[in-house]
Amino acid sequence: QKEVEQDPGPLSVPEGAIVSLNCTYSNSAFQYFMWYRQYSRKGPELLMYTYSSGNKEDGRFTAQVDKSSKYISLFIRDSQPSDSATYLCAMKPVDDYKLSFGAGTTVTVRA
Amino acid sequence: DSGVTQTPKHLITATGQRVTLRCSPRSGDLSVYWYQQSLDQGLQFLIQYYNGEERAKGNILERFSAQQFPDLHSELNLSSLELGDSALYFCASSEGKYRASQTGELFFGEGSRLTVL
């Protein structure tokens, strides 16, 4: 079993829809949770990060962490064609150097 | 632009060969990470260097090795290449002094796409 599980999709939605992405994990030591966005032929870039449980909102993006269920989510409201990318969840324990990544979910937003 | 530079962008070689991938981190970043990204395995951590010293090791094969030089650039050497080594290899850097940034933010280069025929 992988340490971080993420449905690779692909996911195709019409412009303006809400995109819902999620990951599950098995390591209870994870405390930092991140979402990276990767455009085609580019490297991943950090989109949002959350420490421990709770919600965090940044514009159209909302990240949620439920440590009791070992489940994290990313919601994209009013999705735009420019949001078309692969979204990777990542997480790490405190005082550890290594990020553990999910496989990534490929999202296409249709105009 | 993340500030991390990787060369070459594309590389095609044959099985059994050896290649070297090069990475220049962001100015001021002391930590360099190497990741392998393939379709079926996702992004896999290979190895981390901090200021010239190996700091953490992941799923790196014995046929692979890396080093970080005094000017902080890093090289990943892949030898006795097999078809299964075909993948995107990413270098990332972070601002960590003694450890990776608490936010977990890594700055990734655009990757080196290796094709082994």
**Residue B70 touches partner A, C-beta closer than 8 Å:** no
What single DSSP character describes residue B17? -
Q: Which two tokens stand for residue B43?
A: 């992004």
**Are A49 and B105 an interchain contact pair (Cβ–Cβ within 8 Å)?**
yes
* pLDDT exceeds 80 at position B40: no
**Residue A103 touches partner B, C-beta closer than 8 Å:** yes
Q: How far is B82 from chain A (nearest CA, A)?
A: 22
| pLDDT mean over A101-110 | 94
Total residue count of chain B as it appears in this document = 117
Average pLDDT, chain B: 91
Contacts with A32 from chain B: Cβ below 8 Å:
102-104
Nearest to A92 among B35, B104, B107 (CB): B104
**Residue B96 touches partner A, C-beta closer than 8 Å:** yes
**Residue A89 touches partner B, C-beta closer than 8 Å:** no
Task: Choose the weakest-confidence range: A93-97, B9-13, B20-24, B95-99.
Answer: B95-99
Q: Which residues of A25-54 are buried (b: 16+ CB within 10 A; e: fewer)?
A: beeeebbbbbbbbbeeeebbebbbbbeeee
Q: What is the pLDDT of residue B97?
A: 53
Q: What is the pLDDT of residue A57?
A: 95
**Residue A58 touches partner B, C-beta closer than 8 Å:** no
Q: How far is A88 from chain B (nearest CA, A)?
A: 9
Residue pair A32/A91 in contact by the 8 Å Cβ criterion: yes
